[in-house]
A and B are shown apart, each in its own frame.
Chain A
């Protein structure tokens, strides 16, 4: 199993690591039993994600996909961020080994969870907009 240079770059120098104080939305997905947890913080102004930070417990791919996903939604509208797919994150990283695809799914879910949280804080029901954020069910280690 080998990672692409892009994955290694985002793993070795992850972008947007940390927390946002008074974040407008926080999403956490994954669980420790499966070996990965992603936590995303977003700051939103006029429907634009002005800042995003993440904390991840997980493998190289989990850290790299978190980093890439935050880069891809920073400065984007919420609508655009919701359109981000795990496939797009994977492509931006020049691919992932098959057993690591679920990490990119987790990154997509973490963004959706953070946006859901943002809508909830605004008093808006997120479900019709964000859809349901599934639980991690594909890591196969239960």
Chain B
């Protein structure tokens, strides 16, 4: 049996190239970067070199606009809570975000709502894309920050970040983007795109888990989330994850160096897979077909339930997910699919496949062979499918 890992939006395999760069900092250079002696200094140097290179790769003006964190969730929490708490005194207590953000944003917004902040959740329409004019219309006197993800984690739709950045700049409102899924797949330049804060993480781009960053434009007022030592210039306490930081830098560099070739290859495979799977009756592709991440396929098959589809894919050697890995274990269908207007019963039958550089055309052939069989099998035992077909026959009669 083939084994195909098709859940790269959940996490990716650590690249051997990245691991090699990290190894010295997991072995001989174990010093604490805050220490005075030489192996501390060597670790510090590695952290600062990584910061410089990452800043360059994201288009930041200054290396010290990059703050290392434990990953995307921390960065998202820090961006919103830090900015809102800092701007509260100025009477800015309004946040604009979208309905289909990652829970790291949505649950942070809910927490801020409990503190008294007001949140506007923008519609994402049927194609899963925020309309920049909706952002502009939602901005008020008291708006502190706009937070719109760069690319959605479930349906992979890429948002008009430059347009939203320009609008925020025009109105003097801060703009944060969660670029956890987009980094390494789209060209990002925080300065040109008027992004004030940006979250990203290493493990979605073949880097290690447990290391991410928050870009904070110089001059942006932000309160600390984690207090303690003086690391990250007193803004984020905790001994630096030196190997993780080196890995984050190496992973981003690798992703940028291989971007155009990889995107071209993945887009071709993605489109072939979507076309093939759409031949299954009563199937649909979720989210805009063009403005989406090159490795993302998210589909619904009516009459079947997503988890049983995923378990059967797993029995056939294919690792996939039905949305966000963070929500499996919950009975509610994906908030992303509900946000693009799918009814509950269709949203229950979703499947997300997300690919990486390692994916081959043979993998796509195999998926195209297996998925229709599983869908047929599950539909044959589904009373819901029986009803759908009966209603269809009655309509045609």
Interface residues of A (CB under 8 A from B): 1, 8, 11-12, 14, 17-18, 28, 32-39, 55-60, 62-63, 97, 99, 102, 139-141
Q: How far is the CA of A93 from the CA of B385 in the complex (A)?
A: 27
Verify A33–B344 contact, CB threshold 8 A.
yes
CB-CB contacts below 8 Å: B199-234 with A: none
Q: A12-B315, A35-B344, A37-B383 are in contact. Are A57 and B303 (CB under 8 A)?
A: yes
Task: Give Cα distance in the complex from A35 to B308, angstroms.
Answer: 11
Q: Is the pair B331, A57 in contact by a Cβ cutoff of 8 Å?
A: no
B residues near A34, Cβ cutoff 8 Å: 331, 344
B318 to chain A minimum Cβ distance, whole angstroms, is 15
CA A74 – CA B311 in complex, angstroms? 27
Residue from the list A62, A97, A139 in contact with B305, Cβ < 8 A? A62
Closest to B329 in A: A1
Residue of A nearest to B328 (CB): A1
Whether the Cβ atoms of B331 and A55 lie closer than 8 Å is no
Residues of chain B with a CB closer than 8 A to A14's CB? 381
Which residue of A11, A12, A57 is within 8 Å of B382 (Cβ)? A57
Contact partners of A99 in chain B: CB under 8 A: 329-331
| Chain B 348-397 residues near chain A, CB threshold 8 A | 348, 381-386
Measured CA separation A33–B311 after assembly (Å): 21
Identify whether the interface residues of A are mostly helix, strand, loop, or mixed: mixed
Once A11-B308, A57-B304 are accepted as A-B contacts, the answer to whether A35 and B383 lie under 8 Å apart by CB is no
Cα separation A58 to B345 with both chains bound (whole Å): 10
CB contacts (< 8 Å) of A97 on chain B: these are 329
A140 to B331, CA, bound (A): 8
Task: Report B-chain residues with C-beta under 8 Å of the C-beta of A55.
Answer: 381-383, 386
B329, B384, B385: which has the most chain A beta carbons within 10 Å?
Answer: B384
Interface range for B: 20 to 34
- Interchain nearest-CB distance for B309 vs A (Å): 10
> How far is the CB of A66 from the nearest CB of chain B, in Å?
9
Q: A35-B345, A60-B311 are in contact. List 11 more A-B contacts (CB 8 A).
A: A1-B328, A1-B329, A14-B381, A32-B345, A32-B384, A35-B333, A37-B383, A57-B303, A59-B306, A63-B381, A140-B332
Q: If A57-B303, A99-B330, A141-B331 touch, does A37 touch B384 (CB 8 Å cutoff)?
A: yes
Contact flags B166-190 to A (C-beta < 8 A → 1, else 0): 0000000000000000000000000
Say whether B305 contacts A36, CB under 8 Å: yes
Nearest opposing residue in chain A for B386, CB measure: A55
Alpha-carbon distance A24/B344, docked complex (angstroms): 33
List residues of chain A with CB within 8 A of the CB of B348. Answer: 32, 35
Q: B307 in the interface, Cβ–Cβ < 8 Å?
A: yes
- Among residues of B, the one whose C-beta sits closest to the C-beta of A30 is B383
Q: How far is the CA of A57 from the CA of B301 in the complex (A)?
A: 12
A58 to B309: give the CA distance in the assembly, Å: 10
Knowing A12-B315, A32-B345, A35-B344 touch, does A59 contact B307 (C-beta < 8 A)?
yes
Report the nearest B residue to A11, measured CB to CB. Answer: B311
Min distance, Cβ A140 to any Cβ of chain B, angstroms: 6
Chain A's closest residue to B311 (CB) is A60
B222 CB → nearest A CB, Å:
36
> B191 → chain A, closest Cβ, in Å?
43
Q: List 29 A-B contacts (CB under 8 A).
A: A14-B381, A17-B381, A18-B381, A32-B344, A32-B345, A32-B384, A33-B344, A33-B345, A34-B331, A35-B345, A35-B348, A36-B305, A37-B382, A37-B383, A55-B382, A56-B382, A56-B383, A57-B382, A57-B383, A58-B305, A59-B307, A60-B307, A60-B311, A97-B329, A99-B329, A99-B330, A102-B331, A139-B331, A141-B344
Q: Is the CB of B383 within 8 A of A39?
A: yes
Task: Tell me, in angstroms, the Cα distance from A57 to B388 when the chains sit together.
Answer: 12
**Which residues of B sit under 8 angstroms from A8, Cβ to Cβ?**
311
CB distance from A101 to the nearest CB of B (A): 11
| B302 to A: closest C-beta gap in Å | 10
A35 touches B331 (CB 8 A): yes
Given known A35-B348, A36-B305, contact A28–B331 (CB-CB < 8 A)? no
> Given the interface contacts A32-B345, A35-B305, A36-B305, does A57 sit within 8 Å of B328 by beta carbon?
no
Restricting to B294-320, which residues have a CB under 8 Å from any CB of A?
303-308, 311, 315
Complex Cα–Cα for A99 and B303 (A) = 22
Contact among B311, B315, B344, B385 for A57, CB-based, below 8 A: B385
Considering the chains assembled together, what is the distance between the CA atoms of A32 and B386 in angstroms?
Answer: 12
A7–B185 Cα distance when bound, in Å, is 39
> Is B308 touching A59 in the complex (CB atoms < 8 A)?
yes
For A56, list chain B residues within 8 Å (CB): 381-383
A11 to B305, CA, bound (A): 13
B312 CB, min distance to chain A CBs, angstroms: 8
Across-interface contacts of A58 in B (CB, < 8 A):
305, 308
CB-CB nearest in chain A for B330: A99
Question: Which residues on A sit within 8 Å (CB–CB) of B382?
Answer: 37, 55-57
Contact residues in A for B328 (Cβ distance below 8 Å) = 1
